Amino acid sequence: MPNIASSIRQVRTDKRRTARNKSARTEVKTVITKAENLIAAGKLDEAKTAVVAAGRTLDKAANKGVLHSNNTSRRKARLVAKLNKASKK
């Protein structure tokens, strides 16, 4: 533990940020997994809505600073590519 007052305050702040970021990251992973599972199952209509929801969740995480915007764009692109590949089959 730090001894300096400003460092002690920073540790408290980091705990709050970590908790917020962790919940946002978990939500992103859950939504992406649901979309990928629907794509794999062949339920393309439901998968399209799930991909849109995943994109929205990713954008929110990027706006909050939880994820980098390039990371968000890459994940969205990969998800849409999987959906497009499944719809072509």
Split into its structural domains, the chain has a count of: 1
Q: What are phi and psi of 67, to 5 degrees?
A: -120, 150
Q: What is the pLDDT of residue 1?
A: 80
Domain region containing 20: 5-88
Which DSSP state fits 65?
T
**pLDDT one digit per residue (tens) for the chain, 89 residues:** 889 999 999 999 999 999 999 999 999 999 999 999 999 999 999 999 999 999 999 999 999 999 999 999 999 999 999 999 999 97
66: Cβ contacts below 8 Å, ≥ 6 apart = 20, 21, 24, 25, 28
Stretch (H or E) spanning 30:
helix 5-41
Place of tokens 């764009």: 73
| CATH number of the domain where residue 25 is located | 1.20.58.110
